[in-house]
Amino acid sequence: MPAIDREEKVITCNFLYYGPSQGGKTTNLSALYNFAVNKSRGNLVNLATQTDRTMFFDYLAIAFDILEDYKTIFNLYTVPGQLFYDATRKTILKTLPVVDGVVFVADSQIDRRDANIESLWNLQHNLQSNGLSIYNLPYVLQLNKRDLPNICTTEEMKRELLLKDEIVIEAVADKGIGVLETLRAVSKKTLQNFKQKHNVLVSG
């Protein structure tokens, strides 16, 4: 559940971007960083290997005025996609104060089908290890790289990756397509749940 500071009028949400290696998690955060005006964003922290793959994590904070009288801060985190960094993923999940919502960034390329499925299983396993369940969290499935050749159809990916009634968004993250829609979807669901427990009006 998002943290609320009624005195400072600030609500903080932590969103986790998960998915296979080079599927577009870091690209999502980079696009959001470029979309946000300077005064509403923090620094984009990227700890990556020399091969430009995320080894530890990415982090971005963005502030919005979408709740009545409150500033809302979204802390966005990614974790490394390579399976041999599973210990790092577990450490990041343990150190987060709370996970308020999850975005799974799937790679649409046909040869990444197994990587998507394996990463999705790993997400569920690591959440369970921290006492969380994807079925109880706001969750969005993003189908990235829809502009490339040799990609799976949307229906094929849904059959393989859908877990519940989650929103599915097609994206081309390196062109900024679907990026804002993805963040909007996971944040809207999170804040709707928050509204049910707190006397705060959600706009939009």
DSSP 140-172: EEEEE-TTSSSB--HHHHHHHH--SS-EEEE-B
Q: What's the whole-number average pLDDT of the chain?
A: 80
In the prediction, which pLDDT does 67 show? 58
Q: Where are the domains of the chain?
A: 3-187
Residue 90 CB partners (closer than 8 Å, separation 6+): 126, 129
> Among residues 130, 124, 61, 64, which one has the least CA distance to residue 92?
130
Mind listing the pLDDT tens digit for each residue in 62-117? 766 655 677 788 888 887 655 555 555 556 566 565 789 999 999 999 999 999 99
Is pTM beyond 0.85? Reply is no
Whole-number pLDDT of residue 57: 44
**Alpha carbon of 19 to those of 3, 4, 7, 107: distances in Å?**
25, 29, 37, 8
Q: Give me the architecture of the 3-187 domain, per CATH.
A: 3-Layer(aba) Sandwich (3.40)
Structure-model confidence comparison of residues 89 and 169, the more confident one: 169
pLDDT of res. 193: 76
